Amino acid sequence: MQPGLLVLLLMALAPLLFAAYLLTGKAPEPETIPKTSSTKPSTTQPPKSITKVTKATKAKPLKPMPNQKYSKKKKLAPPKHPRFVGWVKGHSSNVLSCAISPDGQFFAASCNDRSLRVTRLSDCLKIPGQRNTGSNPPMYMSTPTNYTTLSAICWVGKNSGAIVVGVQDSDRHCCYFRCKPKKQANTDMHGGALDLASEKKKLEGELLVHQDIYTKVSKKLRNDNYVTNAPQATIASERKKMADAQNNVLRTKESIAILINRAKSDSKKSFKYELKWMQKKGFPTNLLDTCQFIAMDQVTSAPTIVLGFSDGATSLRTCVYSLEGKELCAFKTKPGLHVKQKGYAIGTSKDNALIAVSLCSNSVGIHKQEASTGMSRKPVMQLSSCHTLRVTDVALGSRASSGVPSDTDRCVVCSGDGTWSLWKIDVQYKFKEEPVLLYQSAALNSGGLKKIAISPNGRRVVVVGGENGNALWIFSLENAGIHDSGTVSLVDTIDIGHPEGAINALMWGPDSTYVACATKASKIVYLWGVRKK
């Protein structure tokens, strides 16, 4: 065969061979692919199998599930325990110290962000027969505390009004905040109450007058004969009159809308109180410890202030001051035998006439105010020979059958040994009469007790403790006599009184129907009912 014919035959068979390779799915060898001199890109489509693999390997962003929510911290749900009666929420930082006003209307809290926050308790408590509160945010007011933290706060008595007193951690000054009603926003120029209905009716009458003027002038100016024949000064005056009438119409409509909004806001339960910074009084002292406790006389006309400074281990100093900042008495408490068990306990009566203190000890010393000699610097009586471990908390109160709630003849003490005790302290200590132990409970748990409080009516005692320091035990005191405890019985146990940490603040409502529990690790304060079911 001639060479020319062979070349032509190969050129004719080359496309057929290449198509055969494509149909069998095998890529041709590089040397079998004929080279072309064309510089245009090849229009040959890649195999379908390779196309599918390429699409499958493309990285696409993952889409979240339809009902999936992302949150940094899970929100706490209200506990389903039948004794849960509400909680105080909305604090911007963790609660350091808190107190309930003597009339039970307000709850004050000193927060870690150096703010004082006062909340209306009626917005937080659960109303019997209705669903639990929580969907509606509580009404509150907040104020900064001069860029320092209030380490302890309390309320002044009813007779002095709603005043919060706090001790600044940095310079040991007492700051007074008055919770006072707001001035009425709807007042007239003479300061009297404004009748929104009559004012709205008056504005609506003025609106009709301005609209009538605007209609008449605009109709006159739309008459071409009048505009053409009237003097230019008259036309200018009429146009100014129409513009003024239009402005008056808009202004009156705006005033009516403001009145309507005022009526709507007044119909709602708005917080009609405000915090006013009052005087700041210093208490001269060379102590380096933090003020851990503050109490104010809520009975007498010349109240005193009791401050407790402690490092929680080796030092506890109690000071009594007048409202003018004058030191009336100061005494130190020596550490007891349980120095390795660090901690202190301090409590006062309503009139500050009795002060109970304990520091690293299993006993409690009580100091008494005398009319002639003042506050005793040494304990007039000792509550001892009862607990085996350190006293963790102490509270003073009256018995249930006492006719005068301000009388103080009972003292309750809790200890790290898991027991609590009830003492009669209305004794003639001047004749060496010792306080009487009326009742001591069995060990409630192995973790010990941390806090204790007796109700204002003397019928309930609540203790806090457990392994996590957040369990509550509610005890009932019935048929108490002058010289006996009556019947002491366990009403109920709340295993988790606060889910976010050990309870460090325990206080009663003034009506003796609930207790408030707070922890420094949380922004929420829990309220628990104590009535018998």
The full DSSP string for 74-100 is PPPPPP--TTEEEEE---SS-EEEEEE
The residue with greater pLDDT, 357 or 166, is 357
What are the structural domains, with CATH classification, of the chain?
Answer: 196-267 (1.10.287)
Q: How far apart are the first and last CA of the chain?
A: 118
Residues 99-127, mean pLDDT to the nearest whole number: 84
Residue 136 has pLDDT above 60, yes or no: no
> What's the confidence (pLDDT) of residue 45?
47
> What's the confidence (pLDDT) of residue 127?
53
SS (H, E, C) 217-250: HHHHHCCHHHHHHCCHHHHHHHHHHHHHHHHHHH
The model's confidence at residue 271, banded by pLDDT at 50, 70 and 90, is low
Distance (Å, rounded) from C-alpha 78 to C-alpha 498? Answer: 11
Please report, as a single letter, which amino acid is at residue 129: G
Which of 103, 141, 105 shows the shortest CA–CA distance to 122?
A: 105
> Is the Cα dihedral 409, 415, 417, 419 positive or negative?
positive
Write down the mean pLDDT value for the chain.
78
At residue 246, what are phi and psi to the nearest 5 degrees?
-65, -40
CB atoms within 10 A of CB 114: 17
At residue 19, what are phi and psi to the nearest 5 degrees?
-65, -35
The residue with greater pLDDT, 203 or 475, is 475
Residues 162-187, mean pLDDT to the nearest whole number: 69
CA distances from 501 to 336, 342, 389 (A): 28, 19, 23
Q: Which of 229-233, 439-443, 524-528 has the lowest mean pLDDT?
A: 229-233
> What's the confidence (pLDDT) of residue 184?
53
> What's the confidence (pLDDT) of residue 261?
72
The residue with greater pLDDT, 188 or 137, is 137
Distance (Å, rounded) from C-alpha 363 to C-alpha 377? Answer: 17
> Is the Cα dihedral 474, 480, 485, 487 positive or negative?
negative
CA distances from 527 to 6, 16, 81, 425, 515 (A): 104, 91, 11, 30, 6
Which of 375, 370, 373 shows the shortest CA–CA distance to 357?
A: 375
Q: Which of 31-35, 98-102, 148-152 has the lowest mean pLDDT?
A: 31-35
Quote helix, strand, coil % in the chain, to nearest 5. Answer: 20, 35, 45
Distance (Å, rounded) from C-alpha 352 to C-alpha 374? Answer: 12
Q: Which of 179-183, 312-316, 397-401 has the lowest mean pLDDT?
A: 179-183
Distance (Å, rounded) from C-alpha 39 to C-alpha 513? Answer: 95
The residue with greater pLDDT, 29 or 314, is 314
> What's the confidence (pLDDT) of residue 28?
45
Q: Taking a C-beta distance cutoff of 8 angstroms, is the pair 317, 331 a contact?
A: yes
The model's confidence at residue 268, banded by pLDDT at 50, 70 and 90, is very low
The residue with greater pLDDT, 479 or 13, is 479
Distance (Å, rounded) from C-alpha 250 to C-alpha 244? Answer: 10
> What's the confidence (pLDDT) of residue 189?
39
The CB-side HSE value for 373 (13 A sphere, CA atoms) comes to: 9
Distance (Å, rounded) from C-alpha 514 to C-alpha 509? Answer: 6
> What's the confidence (pLDDT) of residue 119?
85
> What's the confidence (pLDDT) of residue 469?
92
Residue 208 has pLDDT above 80, yes or no: yes
> What's the confidence (pLDDT) of residue 115?
81
Q: Which of 37-46, 198-207, 385-394 has the lowest mean pLDDT?
A: 37-46
Token pair, residue 188, equals 């007239």
The model's confidence at residue 480, banded by pLDDT at 50, 70 and 90, is confident
The residue with greater pLDDT, 392 or 337, is 392
Q: Which percentage of the chain shows pLDDT scores above 70?
A: 70
Residue 403 has pLDDT above 90, yes or no: no
Residue 54 has pLDDT above 50, yes or no: no
> What's the confidence (pLDDT) of residue 533?
64
The residue with greater pLDDT, 35 or 419, is 419
Token pair, residue 427, equals 């004794």
Q: Taking a C-beta distance cutoff of 8 angstroms, is the pair 379, 368 a contact?
A: no
Residue 293 has pLDDT above 60, yes or no: yes
Residues 254-270, mean pLDDT to the nearest whole number: 67
The model's confidence at residue 72, banded by pLDDT at 50, 70 and 90, is very low
The model's confidence at residue 484, banded by pLDDT at 50, 70 and 90, is confident
The model's confidence at residue 405, banded by pLDDT at 50, 70 and 90, is low
Q: Which of 13-27, 51-65, 216-230 has the lowest mean pLDDT?
A: 51-65
∠ CA 78-80-82, rounded to 5°? 120
The residue with greater pLDDT, 371 or 208, is 208
Running DSSP on this structure, what letter comes out for residue 520?
T
Residues 215-239, mean pLDDT to the nearest whole number: 87
Q: Which of 40-44, 248-252, 422-426 has the lowest mean pLDDT?
A: 40-44
> What's the confidence (pLDDT) of residue 232?
87
Which of 520, 410, 504 shows the shortest CA–CA distance to 455?
A: 410
Token pair, residue 76, equals 């706490």
- Reduced to 3 states, what is the DSSP secondary structure of residue 327? strand
Residue 336 has pLDDT above 80, yes or no: yes
Residue 150 has pLDDT above 50, yes or no: yes
Q: Which residues contact 486 (CB under 8 A, 6 or more apart)?
A: 400, 477, 478, 479, 480
The residue with greater pLDDT, 28 or 127, is 127
pTM: 0.69
> What's the confidence (pLDDT) of residue 276?
66
